[in-house]
Structure 1
Amino acid sequence: MAEAQEPRKPLLSVLVPSHRNCLEAMPIISRLAALRNERVEVLVADNSGDPHKQKVLDILLGIAPRLKVVKNPDHLPPHENYKTIIDIASGDYILACADDDYLDPDFIDAAIKLIMGVEHEICVMPALYQYIGQGQLYPTQRIQEPAAPEWTHRVIGHFESKIMPVLTYSVVPKRLLAAFLNYQRYHPMIGSFLDWSFEYFARAWCPCFYADNGFYLYDSQRWMNIDSATEADGRQYRNGGLPFWFVAFHKLHWAVELSSFLYSGYFPGTPQEREPLIKALIAQNMGLFRYESCLSKRERFESAPVSAGIKREIMTLFLQSEWSYPEILAIFLRLLGEVAPGKALRYEKFIHAIQTPRPGYTGFPDPAAIDGVSDNYLCPEAKPQDRENLISIVVSLGPYTDKLLETLDSLVGQTCTDWEIILVGDPGSKDTDHSIDEVLAYFPGRAIRVIATAGLGWSESRNAGIQAALGKYILPVNCGDKLHPRALEKLSGLLQAEPFAIAYSDIQEFGTASRYIETWGPSAGNPPLTHPYPYCALYRREMWATAGGYNLDMAQDYADWDFWLSCAGHGYRGRHLPEALLFRRTGEADRVAGSPQRETESRARLVLNHRALYDPSMLAQAEALLAEPPSQGGKQEVLAVIAEAERLTATEGLAAAVAHYRRWLWFRSAASPLAYAVQFNLGVALQQLDDPAGAARAYRQALENNPGFAPARNNLALLPAP
């Protein structure tokens, strides 16, 4: 009697990490379960949580001897779900399938025949067809593999052909896949370019063979559309802990990431032998980066909340025709350092580690052996659990509600993660093409809630949001504006050190106008004739209660001003950071759309609301303006102001005249078309008082109101350089 032969070890493990429901996922799983080739095993990792699907899988297990199923919790992340079947796969080769694609079973037989016909490792690539709807199939482009080429030629041939990466859908040696997954496991920028990285990695070690049969990929039409691709890339950044707008620098990141990988110990040969390949890859991607930043992604690039210095460095790159790897790496790390400093440090350390040979060690780099490099799968970035320093960000919906997604992106991407977001206003606003619910769907699991305040005034809406806030700190933000990625981190650092502080920064405007605004706050000992602080400043919630909240009787812009003066009356003082952390949108939808007369009345009420902060002359002028509103501010009024200033100069001195000019301008500059004449006279007086900086500001204000006013331009030109 002949002895029973042991079943041969599987040569190919087909892996299906599956999160879709029974109806969507079972067509490919049941087709794979029906395979009869004894050199194949099929492993399914199910984290769908669908009980009907689990029953069908149980039935298949009873009739399909080469099927194995791992049932995982439905909350298990995709990479962990995939890992559970990678670890138990026994084949020398791996083929991974998505659970919504279609696989021709003849491809499996063709791949095994090709593998068994050679003595070395190979990759077997299927024919890929993209399903584009209505029964239409789109075949992907193939490139002709050169006979026995240098591996660098194989990689250059692939990226110069501009076709999609295919090896993620191919039969590949398990040895290579395991090494790459270990690289991916410890990569601090996980999720970015991994399909392309694997494409180049596998091509470096294996020749590639084509099969005639293969895959049919579902819903890939969106990958052929540039807008959809940008959306997908932005979501990857968001999922990886970076803001969506980082997609503006996608090609720069691509050039850095793939070059860093190609310089590492994961590739054969020496780094010097790879330099022509790396140089070609950098040239292609930097050229695309320059093109996108000037055209398709220009608005995203220009409005990205990063420092002007970084943008200047990048613009300098655009002027070059050649770029070096150290040059683009240094700029990218500085860019990433502004957005996520912790991630930038880990990325720099990771790159150094995979590019540094280890004495006496052969084989691929092992990030697990690198001291201090964290496992991003098992040890994700820590999120603060202490809610003592929670920041409540109160976002007021308004004329820029259509820009809500951009605003939330900048808030969710903060390096300080201890926050909640409260949206206040009318969530049914017609100012947006997307409902609030559609926008919030981009941020699942985030601490964002909506308080509907339709019909309430601006101040009342903001007060309602703060009243519902759970945080120790409050930060008001207007919808449409954006924050620098480190805004919360830097502003909260000031408040934790000083209990009576109001933390604020400079402003960078963007949109229809672009300018940098230095916000110095009120001068000690002087009447507060300028807006004390930007509306977007961080303060303690108890300060809001002490000040009595935002005044319901004041217009929006003056409600902020009124609130800051109330806080000043209770001893709170501003602490200034001399950098732009607030990016304020400019456009036709101005935040305050009132008449010049309304402006005068609002300022008069502001003075009378805070009598202790203003001198008797200001109070008297405010009372007079409310009692008998003046005319439009014509020639006679301006001449009277100048005549009174001359009288004060003769009787009390220039300082009294300067104070008189400033009082009148503060109340009446918006109402008078001739305010530039008073601003010019103020500049002359300040120049005589040996205050060139103040004189320069006055002359510039005069020119803003009347660009053709030659006396102001001439005097400004004669001032000494600061």
Structure 2
Amino acid sequence: MDIRDERRTAKDIEAVITSYNQGDMIIEAVHSLCEQTVLPSRIIIVDDGSTDKYSLDILNTIKADHAIPIPVVVIQQANSGVSTARNTGIRKSETPLVLVLDGDDKVKPSYIEQVCKLLHENPSMVAASSWMNTFGVLDSVICPGGGNVSKFLARNCCPATHILRREVWEKSGGYDESMRSGFEDWDFFLSMLETVPNAHIGIVPEPLIDYRTAPASSNVKSMSKRLELMRFIIRKHNQSYQAHIEDAILEIETISMSRLDGWEKEICHTLKEKQILSQASVDFIKSPSYGDGGMAAAVRIASNHQSTISALRTESRRSEKRTISD
């Protein structure tokens, strides 16, 4: 018997895949849904105005592929951004749960089964997802934690690939279609969490998403506008930030302290191994930041490696003199 006949199709979930000039990567996304231990009842692909002929041919191939064990609908629209594409697909869906998946990513076979289990067992959970395994440029495991609205004020705590409750998507207004520079998923999660009292977002503590990484990805590009986008989010969700200002500030400080601690340990390790410090590390020791724990970190580094630090300062002064004389 074909293994597809032995698997259950979940009548309460459909999948929305967004696509834009993604070639045969979209096939990988579709196949990952076809390999689920619990199948979605339908796949809705929203093509956001692809211009690449090969990508369009791939979509036509998918539409004509009768071997796919799940009904597939392909919607093509003028290029309007990922928020609009997601809203278009979710609006087309007819099930209470919707899986949102980017066309260049994939999900592991048990993703739907495990993530839906969280949602079925927790009525106040407005969305759920899992940890991520990155591939491509970076091979790593990313472990977002989910949580309530206060957890999401300092940073996004859920992957863009997730399963949402369609009713809450509708009540929250969906994805903000004006956001075309990034962080639209973070903004959307905050909107959902603000819609339902005591709402939270769940995370399966297992890497069930395969997230493709590339130097020029939209996620990497959005980081160059992080402060601008955060200002937009803070102003838009001002009531939540006012209500949870203490939690938001302390969580941001926790993130900052963790990164500073990592940098301190890396500098100490480099000095211990008598390796060359980066220019950024040399500059930090020479003139540490003040008021954020930077000076204390520099004092600890200098205390543990006094002779090496002295040599660095002497070399730095010599370098400055040579530069001036030149």
Structure 1 residue 534 corresponds to structure 2 residue 159: yes
Aligned to 2:194: 569
Aligned to 1:581: 208
Bigger radius of gyration: 1
Aligned to 2:22: 400
SS at match of 2:186: helix
Distance 1:611 1:702 in 2: 39
TM-score by length of 1: 0.34
Aligned to 2:80: 456
SS at match of 2:24: helix
- Give the counterpart of 2:240 among 613, 627, 642: 613
Distance 1:698 1:583 in 2: 28
- 1:700-715 aligned at under 5 Å gives the runs 709=281
Distance 1:552 1:701 in 2: 41
Structure 1 residue 514 corresponds to structure 2 residue 139: yes
Structure 1 residue 554 corresponds to structure 2 residue 176: no
Q: Deviations over 1:71-120 (max 9, x none)?
A: xxxxxxxxxxxxxxxxxxxxxxxxxxxxxxxxxxxxxxxxxxxxxxxxxx
Contact kept, 8 Å, 1:527 with 1:613, in 2: the verdict is: no
% same residue? 23
Change (3 A) 1:698 1:517: farther
Structure 1 residue 604 corresponds to structure 2 residue 231: yes
Aligned to 2:271: none
Aligned to 1:444: 67
Structure with the higher fraction of residues in strand conformation: 2
Structure 1 residue 435 corresponds to structure 2 residue 58: yes
Change (3 A) 1:447 1:514: same
> Cα offset for 1:500?
2.2
Change (3 A) 1:417 1:438: same
Contact kept, 8 Å, 2:115 with 2:128, in 1: the verdict is: yes
Q: Which residue identity does 2:194 align to in structure 1?
A: G
Q: Deviations over 1:240-264 (max 9, x none)?
A: 54xxxxxxxxxxxxxxxxxxxxxxx
> Cα offset for 1:462?
1.1
> Cα offset for 1:587?
1.5
> Cα offset for 1:455?
2.8
- 1:237-636 aligned at under 5 Å gives the runs 240-241=3-4, 380-381=5-6, 383-384=8-9, 387=11, 389=12, 391-426=13-48, 428-430=50-52, 432=54, 434-444=57-67, 446-501=70-125, 502-522=127-147, 528-555=153-180, 557-571=182-196, 572-592=199-219, 594=221, 598-615=225-242
> Cα offset for 1:569?
0.9
SS at match of 2:39: coil
Contact kept, 8 Å, 1:402 with 1:431, in 2: the verdict is: no
Aligned to 1:86: none
> Cα offset for 1:528?
1.4
Distance 2:54 2:266 in 1: 36
Aligned to 2:308: none
Q: Which residue identity does 2:93 align to in structure 1?
A: A
SS at match of 1:400: coil
> Cα offset for 1:476?
0.8
Distance 2:249 2:128 in 1: 29
Distance 2:238 2:36 in 1: 40
Contact kept, 8 Å, 1:420 with 1:471, in 2: the verdict is: no
Distance 1:382 1:662 in 2: 44
The two structures, once aligned, show a CA RMSD in angstroms of 3.7
Distance 1:567 1:700 in 2: 39
Q: Deviations over 1:101-155 (max 9, x none)?
A: xxxxxxxxxxxxxxxxxxxxxxxxxxxxxxxxxxxxxxxxxxxxxxxxxxxxxxx
SS at match of 1:709: helix
Distance 1:474 1:449 in 2: 14
Contact kept, 8 Å, 1:414 with 1:486, in 2: the verdict is: yes
> Cα offset for 1:661?
10
How many equivalent pairs are there? Answer: 274
Choose between structure 1 and 2 for higher RCO, CA contacts under 8 A separated by at least 6 residues.
Answer: 2
Q: Which residue identity does 1:539 align to in structure 2?
A: L
SS at match of 1:480: coil
Q: Which residue identity does 2:34 align to in structure 1?
A: V
Contact kept, 8 Å, 1:527 with 1:614, in 2: the verdict is: no
> Cα offset for 1:602?
1.4
> Cα offset for 1:580?
0.5
> Cα offset for 1:458?
2.0
> Cα offset for 1:540?
1.0
Distance 2:239 2:109 in 1: 39
SS at match of 2:234: helix
Q: Which residue identity does 1:466 align to in structure 2?
A: I
Contact kept, 8 Å, 1:397 with 1:423, in 2: the verdict is: yes
Contact kept, 8 Å, 1:427 with 1:436, in 2: the verdict is: no
TM-score by length of 2: 0.71
Aligned to 1:96: none
> Cα offset for 1:596?
6.6
Change (3 A) 1:594 1:529: same
Q: Deviations over 1:367-400 (max 9, x none)?
A: xxxxxxxxxxxxx52654x73x2x1211110253
Distance 2:37 2:99 in 1: 15
Distance 1:447 1:701 in 2: 52
